[in-house]
Structure formats: structure tokens, C-alpha cells
Amino acid sequence: MILVLLLAIPLAGALTLARAPRRAAVALHGATAALTLGAAAAVVAAVGRAGVLTALGGLLRADALSAWMAALIGMVGALAAVEAPRYVAPGAGRRFYPLLHLFVFTMLLAVTTDDVGLMWVAVEGTTLASVFLVNFERTRASLEAAYKYLLICSVGIAIAFLGTVLIYFADVQQFGHAEHALHWTTLLRLAPGLPPRVVELAFVFLVVGYGTKAGLAPMHTWLPDAHSEAPAPVSALMSGVLLSVGVYAVLRFKPVVDAAAGPGFASRILLALGLLSMAVAAAFLWTSSSYKRLLAYSSVEHLGIVCLGVGFGGPWGVTGALLHVANHALAKSVLFLLAGRVRSAYGTADIAAVRGLLTRMPRTGTAFLAGMVALMGLPPFGLFTSEVMIFGAGFRGGRGASAALGLAILVAAFAGLLRATQTMCYGVPEREPAPEAAGWRAVLPIGLALALLVATGLAWPPGLAAALSRVAAIVER
């Protein structure tokens, strides 16, 4: 029941907001986001108690992995929702709020359905819901970004559909048109009997397809454009959780492939894609002139690290990867929101034009610096912990060469980020920025997210370790 509510709230919110009067829009938007977050928390609690929730005759199913993702979507959704009214003129609410909640709905559907076909439909839905959000500012650049985003992601996701068809084919060939043949639970049960070569072929298509949504190189080309042109709350949602939803889809298929074709195949592909993404991103972290694009390329890098963790496997690798997904979601959404404030104060997205952030906008600047330090993978923030877990798993699991190569790329990426951070945080700007917003409301959500990042870095809250090991057990059997 709570599972149905989790989906019904953002959907109903979106439909109501599409017809709501202008005055009520912001309040209704806030209520929808708050209720969605509440429902996500309730789902996490219920999954913690019962292990697995199902609804609508098994079409919806939430296990620990779904709950993990739903919690992230709820949190980043709430962060973005708090920030959204700064970017939406009173008259433009109808073009923004309904689509934002529809976007959240499609992501939540993707992570809570048991049917991998419906999951595909939902992931495609995320693109359709967010195209006009990318083009919200209706500039030439945002239009171009929206066009690329729609085209590249539609093609990518169609390739994932090809993979889904082949998985279904393997299933039907072996076991006939069983009921629920496309349900993940059925696939997992039948996986040991599926023809291994067909499943391998299907996985290649699935990784390329969902990898496009996850922003993995070389399918990442839409990402820096869309992330940098979208309004900050949308960038936060895309970078923080949309990419992770792409990874989630791959994670669902990995145990199926491992059972059908042996454990090495999926890992090798994920390691290769992960290293390639990190390398491509590191190169662009050195050359990007805009800080929004810098943050976007850093997402490519971090999603590469996540792939590396899943590829290394073992309890440490997978746990580290899932923790990294959460850490990156928090850090990156905070940074995109702050980048939006910096941009509106300085009036430019150029790294070189933003100087003296720490003195001119002390609160925004401090939070931005903290976020960048987290993103570089330095303690005390959670990304440090998850990166140590991931690379530790690589060295322990006999993948020393890949892990060493990954670490080398990580250092290059670190230096690129550091260079940009230093330019922005210190020095004297050519043109004085507008003063930053006062009051606790602008600081509170971002401070909370940063505090959570410190918590995942220094002292895990009670229950986190148990939750993570339950999630990891789903991916790595």
C-alpha cells in the first residue's frame, strides 16, 4: 500500500499542479515534495521490517536495493524542490512544477517495479519528462542541449530495449511463455538455465543502453550539455539520481548474467567502461572552462568509479559502489544547487570569471568549497570512505592493475578539480557579484546534506551497515 502511495503522490501532485492556480502552485509543489520524501522514508522503514514489499499483483516490488534508491530520489528530490522556486518565475510554474514531479515519479517507478519491461518504459519516461525541464530557460544553448539529450538518450534506451527483448527471448526459449516471464524475480530464478551466449549478448546491449542514461563514456556526450544548461534543481536531480537510476538498471541485470554466463563477463565489461569513463572525464576536468560543465564531467568520473566498484565485486566492491552512489548523489546535488546560486550572483558560468567566492559569498562559498573537497574524495566526507572501499576491493580481489590505473586517473581528476576550486574560491573578482541570500532557509537543506556526507565518512549512523550489506547481497549473490 505504501508502495502505491510512493508512486501516487508525485503523480497526483504533477497532475494537480498542471491545473493548479498560480498562487497555490508553490505551496502545492512543496507539499508534494514533502509527502514524496515521507513516503520514501516509510518505504525504507517498511522494507527494513518486512524485507520485501509487493503491490499490484507483483508488478511493484521493493527490496533493499529499491528502498536505497527510493530514499536517494526522495532526498535529492526534496533538496531540489526547496531550491526550485528561486528559478521559476511566478508565471512559469506550470511549465516547471508538474514536469519536475513527473520526472521524480518516473524515477521512482523505475526503481520499484519488478517488471524489467516496465522498468524500461519508466527509464524512457525519465527522458521524456525532463526534456522540457532542460530547455526551461529557452535559450539557444538549452534548446540544443535538450535536442541532444532527447535524441541520444532515446537511441540509447532503444538499444536497452533490444537487450530486454533478447533476455525475454532467452527466457521464452527455455521455459515457454511463463506468466511474469519479464519479472526480475522470475528471471533470477530461471537464470541458471538460460543460454549463456544470448544472455551475454543481451547484457552488452543493456549496458550500452542504460549506460547511456548513466552517462558512461563513450555514450556520455549528452550529459555535459544537459547538466550545464538545465536550471540548477533539474541538474541536481539529473546528476544526483537520474544517472544512478541508469546504474540501478544495470545492477538488476548483473546477477542474472552472473548466474547464466558465469561471474567474469559482466565484471570485465563494467571495469572497462568504468575506467574509460574516468579517463574521459579526467581529461575534460582539466579543460572545462565552465564550472557547471566541470561538475557534469565529474559525474561521469564518479559513475565510472561506481562501475569499477561493481566490476571489482565482492562485498567490499559492491557495498562501496552503492555507498558511492549515495555519497555522489548528495555531494553533486548540493554542488549543482550552489553553482546555480553562484551563477545568478556572478552572472556567468565561467570558472575564470568567478573569483573570491569565499570572501564575496561567505556562506555559499564555504559550502561550495566543502562540497568540492567532498567531490575530490578527501576525508572527512563519505566519498573518501566509499572510494577506499572500492579500490581496496580491487587490490584484494586480484584486479590490482585495473585498481592502480583507476587510482592514477583519480589523481589526475583530483588535480583538475582542485585547480578550478582554487581559482573560484580565492582571488579578487573583476566584477563584484550580487550579495547572497540571508536567512537560515537558504542554508539549512544544504547544511543537512553536507552533514549527512560527513556522517557516511566518519561515523555510520546505526543501521546503515546492515542496510548496505542487504543491498549488496541482492547485486552480488
Partner 1 sequence: MTATTNLLAFLGLVVALLFVWRQSWPSRLRLFAAQSAVLALLATAVGVLAARPGLVVLGAGFALVKVWIIPRVLRRIAAGAPVRPGAPGRSSGMALLVAGALVVAAYVVMLPVHAATRLPTQGAIPLAFAMALIGLYVCVTGRDALGHILGFLVFENGVFGLAILATYGLPGIVEAGVFLDVLVIVFIMEVVVVQVRREHASIAEDRLRELRG
List residues near partner 1 by CB under 8 A.
115, 117-118, 120-121, 124-125, 128, 131-132, 135, 138, 140-141, 143-148, 150-151, 154-155, 158-159, 161-162, 164-166, 168-170, 172-173, 177, 181-182, 195, 197-198, 200-201, 224-225, 228-229, 284, 287-289, 293
- Least distance (Å) from partner 1 to the CB of residue 473? 28
Residue indicated by cell numbers 515519479:
105
Q: How far apart are CA 153 and CA 406, in angstroms?
A: 27
- Least distance (Å) from partner 1 to the CB of residue 337? 22
Phi and psi at residue 20, in whole multiples of 5°? -70, 145
- Least distance (Å) from partner 1 to the CB of residue 225? 5
The CA-CA-CA angle for residues 199, 175, 260, to 5°, reads 30
Nearest to 76 by CA among 299, 398, 380: 299
Q: Which is nearer to partner 1, 12 or 178 (CB)?
A: 178
Long-range contacts, 435-440 (Cβ 8 Å, 24+): 435/345, 435/361, 436/341, 436/345, 436/361, 436/362, 436/363, 436/364, 437/341
E strand map for 197-303: none
- Least distance (Å) from partner 1 to the CB of residue 222? 10
Q: Which is nearer to partner 1, 102 or 453 (CB)?
A: 102
Which residues have CB under 8 Å from 24's CB, separation 6+?
none
Dihedral angle of Cα 17, 21, 24, 25, to the nearest 10 degrees: 40
Q: Which is nearer to partner 1, 49 or 140 (CB)?
A: 140
- Least distance (Å) from partner 1 to the CB of residue 183? 10
Q: Which is nearer to partner 1, 187 or 471 (CB)?
A: 187
Q: How far apart are CA 89 and CA 230, in angstroms?
A: 15
Nearest to 398 by CA among 264, 211, 262, 214: 264
- Least distance (Å) from partner 1 to the CB of residue 155? 6
Q: Which is nearer to partner 1, 63 or 229 (CB)?
A: 229
Q: How far apart are CA 187 and CA 182, in angstroms?
A: 7
Q: How far apart are CA 359 and CA 355, in angstroms?
A: 9
Nearest to 32 by CA among 7, 60, 1, 69: 7
Q: Which is nearer to partner 1, 85 or 117 (CB)?
A: 117
Q: Which is nearer to partner 1, 81 or 157 (CB)?
A: 157
- Least distance (Å) from partner 1 to the CB of residue 244? 21
- Least distance (Å) from partner 1 to the CB of residue 150? 6
Q: Which is nearer to partner 1, 175 or 426 (CB)?
A: 175
